[in-house]
Structure 1
Amino acid sequence: MVHIPPYEVAHDHDHLYVDTWSGVQVITIGIDPHKSSHTAVAVDTAGHQLAQRRFVVNAGTVRQLMRWCERWPERRFAVEGAKGLGRSLAQQLASAGEQVADVPSTLSARARLLATGGNRKPDAADALHVALFRHDLRTVEPEDQSTILRLLTERHADLVNERIRIINRLHAVLRDLLPGGAPTRLSAEKAATLMKGIHPATAADCCRCDLARDLLADLRRVDRQVRDNEAQMRDALAAARTALTVLPGLGTVLAAKLLGHVGDVTGFPTVDLFVSYTSTAPLDASSGKNTRHRLNTGGNRALDCVLHIIAVCQIRDGGRGQDYYLRKIAEGKTPAEARRALKRRLSNVVYRTLKRDHRTAIAAAA
Structure 2
Amino acid sequence: MSTGQATLPLLNTTLENCRMVIIGVDPHKDVLVAVAVDGNGRQLALRDAPARPRGYKTLLAWTAQFEQRLWAVEDVRHVAGGFVRCLLAAGESVVWVPTQMSSDYRKKVRASGKSDPIDALACARAALAEDLPAAVPDTEARNVKMLLDHREDLVGEMVRMCSRLRWHLHDIDPDFAATIPKHKLHRPKWNKSVQEFLARQAGSVAVAICVELIGRIQELAQRAAQLEREIAALVVIHVPQLLALEGCGPLSAARILAETGDVRRFTSAAAYAMHTGTAPIPASSGNTHRVRLNRGGNRRLNAAIHRIAITQKRMHEPARTYLDNRRAKGNSNTEAIRALKRHLARRVYALLKNGPDHAQADTTVQAA
> Same fold by TM (over 0.5)?
yes
The corresponding residue for 2:253 is 255
Give me the CA root mean square deviation: 4.1
Query: Which of these residues, 235, 238, 241, is aligned with residue 237 of structure 1?
Result: 235
Aligned identity (percent) is 26
Query: Which residue in 1 is equivalent to 2:29?
Result: 35
Match of 2:94 among 96, 100, 124: 100
Cα 1:100–1:237 change in 2 (3 A) is: same
> What does residue 357 of structure 1 align with?
355
Residue 319 in 1 paired to residue 317 in 2? yes
Partner of 1:345: 343
Structure 1 residue 89: Cα displacement: 1.1
2:93 aligned partner, one-letter code: Q
Q: Distance in 1 between matches of 2:311 and 2:116?
A: 51
Distance in 1 (CA, whole Å) between partners of 2:237 and 2:71 is 31
The secondary structure found in structure 1 opposite 2:71 is strand
1:213 maps to which of 211, 214, 230: 211
Paired amino acid for 2:141: S
Q: Name the CA distance, whole Å, in 1 between partners of 2:289 and 2:42.
A: 50
Question: Which residue matches 1:196?
Answer: 196
Query: Judging changes above 3 Å, is the alpha-carbon distance between structure 1 residues 27 and 337 closer, same or farther for their aligned structure 2 residues?
Result: closer
Residue identity in the other structure for 2:175: P
Which residue matches 1:88? 82
Range with greater deviation from structure 2 (239-248 or 122-131): 122-131
Shift of 1:252: 0.8
Structure 2 residue 150 is matched with structure 1 residue 155: yes
Structure 1 residue 110, shift from structure 2 partner = 6.5
Does the C-alpha gap of structure 1 residues 342 and 98 become closer, same or farther in structure 2, counting only changes over 3 Å? closer
**For each residue in 1:112-156, what CA deviation from the matched residue of structure 2 results, as whole angstroms up to 9, or x when unmatched?**
63xxx5668685995799499755554321122222223332222
Within the alignment, does 1:286 sit opposite 2:284 as a pair?
A: yes
Residue correspondence of structure 1 range 60-79 to structure 2 within 5 A:
60-63=54-57, 65=59, 68=61, 76-79=69-72
- Over 3 Å counting, the alpha-carbon distance change for 1:72 and 1:108 in structure 2 is same
Q: Distance in 2 between matches of 1:300 and 1:71?
A: 32
Offset, 1:313:
1.5
Deviation at 1:258, TM superposition (A): 1.4
Task: Give the Cα separation in 1 of the matches to 2:267 and 2:298.
Answer: 17
TM-score (norm 2): 0.72
Work out whether residues 26 and 120 of structure 2, in 8 Å CA contact, stay in contact via their aligned partners in 1.
yes
* Pair 345,172 (structure 1): closer, same or farther in 2 beyond 3 Å: same
Give the distance between the partners of 1:150 and 1:211, measured in 2 at CA: 34
User: Alpha carbons of 1:210 and 1:263: their partners in 2 closer, same or farther (altered >3 Å)?
Assistant: same
Q: Which residue of 2 aligns with 1:15?
A: none
Greater relative contact order: 1 or 2 (C-alpha under 8 angstroms, separation 6 or more)?
2
Q: Which residue of 1 aligns with 2:222?
A: 224
TM-score normalized by structure 1?
0.73
Aligned residue number for residue 179 of structure 1: 175
Contact 1:82–1:90 (CA under 8 A) maintained in structure 2? no
What is the aligned residue count?
A: 337
Structure 2 unmatched runs, 5+: 1-10, 359-368
Q: For the Cα contact (< 8 Å) 2:142–2:261, is it kept in 1?
A: yes
- After superposing the two structures, state which structure 1 stretch, 239-248 or 208-217, moved more: 239-248
What is the alpha-carbon distance in structure 2 between the residues aligned to residue 319 and residue 4 of structure 1? 45
Amino acid at match of 1:170: L
Q: Which residue of 2 aligns with 1:23?
A: none
SS of the aligned residue for 1:196 comes to: helix
Query: Which of the two has higher C-alpha Rg?
Result: 1
2:84, 2:94 within 8 Å by CA — same for their partners in 1? yes
Task: Verify the 8 A CA contact 1:285 1:291 in the aligned structure 2.
Answer: yes
2:339 and 2:36 map into 1 onto residues whose CA distance is 48
Q: d(CA) in 2 for partners of 1:199 and 1:86?
A: 50
